């Protein structure tokens, strides 16, 4: 991924999004088809699934690609600040000494990305609807009608239709934003993408930290594939980044990860309160299962675990010798 011209933001295209998941490929095909239609798109998905990345790809594939892409997090600002951020303000408003452009100004001709749009207040929703319907707005503290030409891509981690039914989100604004809806799948439904994403993140982090980390061990990959990833791709990137930063080898090992990965098989699960999910306990359980599977053959266990015989012996010794099936 490169840089957008002039603003230092990541340049994302559909071709730069890596996936082998049929569900993610379907999501991208729908997004790509809608990108050229210049209509409002509503991206639905959990936090960390890559909704902003997809919005940037939509922008890059649209006729507005040469104009700005401007993002606003609607949940990060109070009602008053969000209004000023979106529409700007005139000199004299809130004691400011100069005019201030809002995001509608900055994105004119391009794409305005409204993240967590369902968190907007009722007043903010009404003003946004007017700007979208009539392509005009007023700055805070001003009375001049300004016109705008933006393509809106909005996103939310919530169920917007449920919020409409509960009276917490305007129905007319929902339909205005939802000309095309695209669901972005969570990482737990596209586990086949984990190795691809890990490879990309390791390469990016190795370059950033100027280290020669080339990947993760087989043991680490097995845990990454079993984890449910409630934080989705953002969480995976963070885990790989932490592991890359502290790795002392050309691979990220289990001990490099400050991560508690829940990998207990459902049939072996005890109550959530009793389950020991510390990193040491997870590693011990995995080694026990591998040794059981190999009937105590340490040579085979080392091949499966991706570690040396001395390392395995050291780990068994650290377990107080509870695994004594030496071969």
pLDDT digits (tens, 9 = 90+) for 103-127: 999 999 999 999 999 999 999 999 9
Is residue 252 within a helix (H) or strand (E), and if so which, with residue range? strand 251-252
Residues of the chain with CATH 1.10.8.60: 188-259
* Topology of the domain covering 264-327: Arc Repressor Mutant, subunit A (1.10.10)
Average pLDDT over residues 64-92: 90
Q: What is the pLDDT of residues 167-198, one digit of tens each?
A: 999 999 999 999 999 999 999 999 999 999 99
Q: How far is CA 25 from CA 28, 183, 228, 313, in A?
A: 5, 11, 20, 44
Q: What is the pLDDT of residues 313-323, one digit of tens each?
A: 888 887 764 54
Average pLDDT over residues 18-46: 97
pLDDT for residue 157 is more than 80:
yes
Q: Alpha-carbon distance 216 to 250, whole Å? A: 8
Higher pLDDT, 99 or 164: 164
DSSP state of 120: S
Q: How far is CA 263 from CA 67, 225, 228, in A?
A: 46, 9, 9
Model pLDDT, residue 96: 54
Residues of the chain with CATH 1.10.10: 264-327
When the candidates are 3.20.20.70, 3.40.640.10, 3.40.50.1220, 1.10.8.60, the CATH number that belongs to 188-259 is 1.10.8.60
Q: Alpha-carbon distance 54 to 57, whole Å? A: 5
Contact 200, 244 (CB under 8 A): no
Q: What is the pLDDT of residues 248-282, one digit of tens each?
A: 889 999 888 754 444 434 444 344 334 444 556 76
Q: What is the token pair recorded at 34?
A: 């809608």
Residues of the chain with CATH 3.40.50.300: 2-185
Question: Mean of the per-residue pLDDT values for the chain?
Answer: 85
In 230-266, which positions are buried (b, 16+ CB within 10 angstroms) versus exposed (e)? Answer: ebbbebbbebbebbbeebeeebbbbebbebebebbee
20 class by beta-carbon count within 10 Å (0-12 exposed, 13-18 middle, 19+ buried): exposed
Residues 6+ apart with CB under 8 A from 104: 86, 87, 88, 112, 131, 137, 146, 148, 150
Model pLDDT, residue 273: 39
Q: Alpha-carbon distance 194 to 213, whole Å? A: 17
Residue 48 confidence class, pLDDT cut points 50, 70, 90: very high
> What share of the chain in percent tops pLDDT 90?
61
Rg, Å, the chain Cα set:
25
When the candidates are 3.30.420.40, 3.40.50.11540, 3.40.50.300, 3.30.450.20, the CATH number that belongs to 2-185 is 3.40.50.300
pTM of the model: 0.78
């Amino acid at each position: 991924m490169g840089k957008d011209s002039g603003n230092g933001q990541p340049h994302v295209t559909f071709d730069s999004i890596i996936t082998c998941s049929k569900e993610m490929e379907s999501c991208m095909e729908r997004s790509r088809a809608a990108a050229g239609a210049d209509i409002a798109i509503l991206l639905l998905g959990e936090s960390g699934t890559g909704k902003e990345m997809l919005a940037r790809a939509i922008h890059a594939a649209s006729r507005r690609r040469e104009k700005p892409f401007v993002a606003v997090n609607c949940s990060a600002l109070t009602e008053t600040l969000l209004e000023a951020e979106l529409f700007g303000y005139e000199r004299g408003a809130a004691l400011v000494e100069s005019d201030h452009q809002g995001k509608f100004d900055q994105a004119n001709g391009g794409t305005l990305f409204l993240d967590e749009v369902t968190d907007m207040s009722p007043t903010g929703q009404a003003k946004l609807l007017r700007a979208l319907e009539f392509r005009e707005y007023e700055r805070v503290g001003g009375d001049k009608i300004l016109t705008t030409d933006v393509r809106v891509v909005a996103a939310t981690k919530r169920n917007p239709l449920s919020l409409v039914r509960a009276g917490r989100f305007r129905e007319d604004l929902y339909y205005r934003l939802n000309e095309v809806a695209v669901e972005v799948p969570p990482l737990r439904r596209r586990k086949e993408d984990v190795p691809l994403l890990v490879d990309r993140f390791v390469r990016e982090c190795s370059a950033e930290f100027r280290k020669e980390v080339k990947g993760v061990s087989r043991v680490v990959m097995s845990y990454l594939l079993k984890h449910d990833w409630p934080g989705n791709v953002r969480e995976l990137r963070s885990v790989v980044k932490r592991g890359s930063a502290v790795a002392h080898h050309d691979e990220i090992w289990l001990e490099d990860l400050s991560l508690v990965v829940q990998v207990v098989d459902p049939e072996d699960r005890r109550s959530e309160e009793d389950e020991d999910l510390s990193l040491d306990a997870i590693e011990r359980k995995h080694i026990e299962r591998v040794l059981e599977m190999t009937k105590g053959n340490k040579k085979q266990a080392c091949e499966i675990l991706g570690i040396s015989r001395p390392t395995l012996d050291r780990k068994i010794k650290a377990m107080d010798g509870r695994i004594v099936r030496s071969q």
